[in-house]
Amino acid sequence: MKTLLTPFLLLAVTVLAGCANHVSPELRPYTAEETRELALEALNRRGLSFDEYHAKKAELLGLPQKTYGFDKQGEMSAERAVQLHGRPS
């Protein structure tokens, strides 16, 4: 009986020791790249307007802010021809 009980007892101790020796990967600090990626993912989920989104994104990436908006030409005539990289429109 003792020979059967000893392997089971050793197995139980081994399993419990393995569970107690848990090293958690989420306890390590994030790198700068991971932090920036997490911030960009959070920014994508916020539902900001187009201008607010690009302002926050430029701020996160450390880029100069670009102004996005309409061009100075106003309305475009349908009769006006536009050339797209050598192709007729």
- Reported as a single tens digit per residue, the pLDDT across 41-55 is 999 999 888 888 888
Residue 43 belongs to some domain of the structure: yes
Residue 46 corresponds to which amino acid?
A: R
Does 75 score more than 70 pLDDT?
A: no
Residue 72 belongs to some domain of the structure: no
Give residue 87's Cα distance to chain centre. Answer: 37
Domain holding 56, by residue range, is 29-63
Residue 37 belongs to some domain of the structure: yes
pTM, two decimal places: 0.44
Residue 4 corresponds to which amino acid?
A: L
Residue 36 belongs to some domain of the structure: yes
Residue 78 belongs to some domain of the structure: no
What is the Cα–Cα distance from 41 to 14, expressed in whole angstroms? Answer: 41
- Reported as a single tens digit per residue, the pLDDT across 8-21 is 888 888 887 777 66
Number of residues written out for the chain = 89
